Every structure is written in C-alpha cells, then in structure tokens.
Amino acid sequence: MPFTGRHSGIWGNRVTNGNLLPINRTLFSDEHEIFRQTVRRFMRDEVIPNLETWNRQGHPGREVWRAAGRQGLLCVTTPQEYGGGGVDRKFSAILIEEQQRANAAGPGFVMHSEIVAGYLTRFGTEEQKRKWLPAMAVGDVIGSLAMTEPRGGSDLRAIATRANRVGDEYVINGAKTFITNGFITDLIVVAAKTDKSDGSSGLSLILVEADRVGLKKSQPLEKVGQKAQDAAELFFDDVKVPKSNLLGDEGKGMHYLMAELAWERLMIAIRAVAGCEIALETTVDYTKSRVAFGQRLMDFQNTKFKLAECKTKTQIARVYIDHCIELAVEGALDPEAAAMAKWWCTELQNRLLDECVQLHGGYGYMLEYPVARAWADARAQMIYGGTNEIMKEIISRSF
C-alpha cells in the first residue's frame, strides 16, 4: 500500500504482510489466525474511529468495553466457567499485537483482562471469582491494579498505603498514582500494608470497589503520550471494605505480584516488537514515495542503511519474543527472560521510532502522522512494568 499522506495519527488497518519481515511465525494455529482477523475487524470498526475523541478526553468510552465483551475479546485466558474464553496466552499476544498495529494506546484491555483478571483467577476465592470475572468478561466491570505510589516508583517495598484490620473490615488509607484504567475503573486490586512490618512481609492485595465511601479519583493525568489510555491518581481516606475482599492470604501480596510480573513484562515487549514492525513498514512506504533533491528518500544510501539496521534488529527481536511467548504458554517463562525481553525490546522500539521520525523529516514531528503518535506513546514502555534499570538489575542477579 503506497503512502498517501495524512493519517490523523493512526496507522489505519495496516499490518505487516510478510514481505518486509519474511519470518515464518510458527507459534500460531489456524484458530489463532481466525481470532486475529476478528480482533483486526474490531480495531477497525470500534477502536480506530474513536481514537481522536479518546485522545482529546484522556480516556476511552465505556461502550468500547462492552463491545469487546460481546465479541469475546475480554478475559480470553480466564476459564470458561467464569465467563472467559479459556484459551492460551497466544490469543492474548494477538490482541496486544493488533491493538499496537492500530496505533491505539487505549483502551487498557491488557490491564483488565490479563493482570486484574489474572490475579482473581489465580488467587481469588470461588466467591470472588464468580462475583467479578463474568462481569469483567462482558465489560460491565473494568479492572485496575493500584501498586505505584507518589514516593515509591518501582520500589514496591516502599509502599506506604495501609489497610488496618478493624473488626470484620479493612480500613485503607493512602494514595496511588499512574493507575492504568484508574479514571473509569470499577474494581481495583490495591497493594497495601496490612501490618507494620518493614519491607514486603506485610504487603497484601485487597479488592476495592470504586464506589466505596472515601475513595476519590483524579481526572485523567495529562501525559506526554498514550493519551487515549486513562491513568489517574487514587486517594483512599478511611475506605472500608469487608475482610472477604482480601485477595489470597494476608501478607503474601509481594509473592502474588512477583508471580505475574514476568508475564506483564513480556506483554510490554510483545507490544514493543509489534510497534517496531508496523513503524518500520510504514516508514519504508514513506521513503519510497517522498522525493527530496530530485530522488526518492529510499534511494539515498543513508536511508537504506538506517532501514537495514532497523529491519535486522526487529527481526532478531521477533524471534526472541515468539520464543518467550511459547515459554509463557508452557508456564516456563522466568523473570530473567522476561526482564531481558522488556528491556531490549522497549529500548529497540524507542531507538527505531526515533530513526523513523527522523526519516519522516518535519512531518515525523506532526501528530497527524502516525509515527509521531507512536513515538510519543512508546517512551513510557521503558518506565512502567518496572523501569529498564530495574530490568538490568534482575538480569545481573544471574551472574
């Protein structure tokens, strides 16, 4: 497809076609590819037409969540007995890839379906699972995870939010920030200290309904990128919840968080590689159609060499990420492999997009061109899920 000019900051329905990056991806079955077509149509019909509105208002509309639920695109790995799809994580990878290829930073389906629903599935009581998961699967309830605090950053051991037991209730006080889905959330998994111990021994996970008295949400935070994805601050002022809202066992919150972090970090890497692929392919089209000094940009040696470097690095990253996806499906993905994937691929995405912006010239800095939006959106990938400096620390522990 030739480059046609303005794209309103959206890649459109463009996907990698196998010509630019001719790797034969062997991890997906015919069933997976049929699902990919369903996701692609959903992005085309329900997400892309609304992105500009969501970018302006700082959050997606609730209707897209219910639309996703009707098409079976929420909680796909949640067991069928709780309303989910009951499929493997390759389906989750497809959802992430197709949302990235639509250049859609929001809605926060991954946080909702893979992280919050994942905690409930793995650690929740039967009552909790039957109460919340079916509603999440149809999009009536939107989930979020509240870990990060204004003074804590990536250091979960510094969490100051407290949940004190008073009779049959927990009374929660504290503040959380940068909470994905925080503005529109209905159910929050809150990481809080349930005793006065230092470090991680007293950390617990507690389910908090967003309509609880004493819970306040900020307006969506004004971010540099990812404007279609809401992130908010949450404030807990004597918020009372029944002790039955405890997720898993008291004091084991850090263990539960660590159990899911490898998959969370791999999902960030999956998104990063998909972003590299579509940015590279679109930039190749642009350089073939754009003329400067009497010839196509693609005809300059510098352009060809830059794109050759980008293609090679993206191809190598793709092979590693597909390997990690297979490990995740088998339950064999370890923290070190996930940390390497998250660090390398998000760094690659940011460097590659910088090259792509440069090759677009002045147009690369205009938000009406998709590469500019992608460039701004990608920067946060090196921060959330644990900063890339933390990823290097995890990797270095193997020495």
Band the pLDDT of 200: cuts 50, 70, 90: low
Band the pLDDT of 196: cuts 50, 70, 90: confident
For the segment 248-266, the average pLDDT, to the nearest whole number, is 94
Q: Give the fold, CATH level 3, of 255-396.
A: Butyryl-CoA Dehydrogenase, subunit A; domain 3 (1.20.140)
143-250: CATH number:
2.40.110.10
Ranges in the chain annotated CATH 1.20.140.10: 255-396
- Residue 155: the pLDDT is 75
- Give 130-167 pLDDT, tens digit per residue: 999 999 999 999 999 999 999 877 678 889 999 999 99
Name the CATH architecture for the domain at 30-137: Orthogonal Bundle (1.10)
Three-state DSSP class for residue 297: helix
Band the pLDDT of 17: cuts 50, 70, 90: very low
Q: Determine if residue 174 is left, alpha or beta; phi over 0 gives left, psi from -120 to 50 gives alpha, anything else beta.
A: left
Is residue 208 a contact partner of residue 215, using CB atoms and an 8 Å limit?
yes
- Residue 13: the pLDDT is 45
Ranges in the chain annotated CATH 2.40.110.10: 143-250
Question: What average pLDDT does the structure give for the chain?
Answer: 93
- Give 352-382 pLDDT, tens digit per residue: 999 999 999 999 999 989 999 999 999 999 9
The fraction of the chain above a pLDDT of 90, given in percent, is 88
- Residue 19: the pLDDT is 53
For the segment 10-17, the average pLDDT, to the nearest whole number, is 48
For the segment 182-211, the average pLDDT, to the nearest whole number, is 89
- Give 297-345 pLDDT, tens digit per residue: 999 999 999 999 999 999 999 999 999 999 999 999 999 999 999 999 9
For the segment 84-106, the average pLDDT, to the nearest whole number, is 97
Residue 312: φ, ψ to 5°: -65, -45
Residue 388 has pLDDT above 50, yes or no: yes
Residue 181 has pLDDT above 60, yes or no: yes
Residue 89 has pLDDT above 70, yes or no: yes
To which residue do tokens 């809605």 refer?
Answer: 107
Band the pLDDT of 24: cuts 50, 70, 90: confident
**209-217 contact pairs (CB < 8 A, 24+):** 209/241, 210/185, 210/186, 211/186, 212/239, 212/240, 212/241, 213/239, 213/240, 214/172, 214/238, 214/239, 214/240, 215/239, 217/182, 217/183, 217/185
For the segment 221-237, the average pLDDT, to the nearest whole number, is 96
For the segment 235-240, the average pLDDT, to the nearest whole number, is 98
Three-state DSSP class for residue 343: helix
Catalytic residue among 149, 264, 277, 281: 264
- Residue 14: the pLDDT is 47
d(CA 322, CA 303): 28
- Residue 1: the pLDDT is 28
- Residue 154: the pLDDT is 66
Residue 180 has pLDDT above 90, yes or no: yes
- Output the pTM of the full model: 0.93
Give 172's strand partners. 163, 239
Three-state DSSP class for residue 247: strand
- Residue 20: the pLDDT is 66
- Residue 2: the pLDDT is 30
Band the pLDDT of 392: cuts 50, 70, 90: very high
Residue 170 has pLDDT above 60, yes or no: yes
- Residue 152: the pLDDT is 75
Instruction: Give the ranges where 290-398 is alpha helix by DSSP (H).
Output: 301-330, 335-360, 370-378, 388-396
Active site residue 264: yes
Is residue 60 a contact partner of residue 230, using CB atoms and an 8 Å limit?
yes
